[in-house]
Amino acid sequence: MPKPTVGRIVHYVSTATGTPVCRAAIVTETRDQRISVQVFLPDTIFPDRDVAHSETSHEGGTWHWPERTED
Summarize pLDDT for 4-40 with one digit per residue, the tens.
Answer: 999 999 999 988 778 889 999 999 999 988 999 999 9
Supply the pTM of this predicted model: 0.87
Supply the DSSP string of 16-40, one letter for each residue: TTSS-EEEEEEEEEEETTEEEEEEE
Q: Exposed, middle or buried by CB within 10 Å (0-12, 13-18, 19+), for 20?
A: middle
The answer to whether the CB of 14 falls within 8 A of the CB of 39 is yes
The domain limits of the chain are 9-64
Q: Which has more pLDDT, 30 or 69?
A: 30
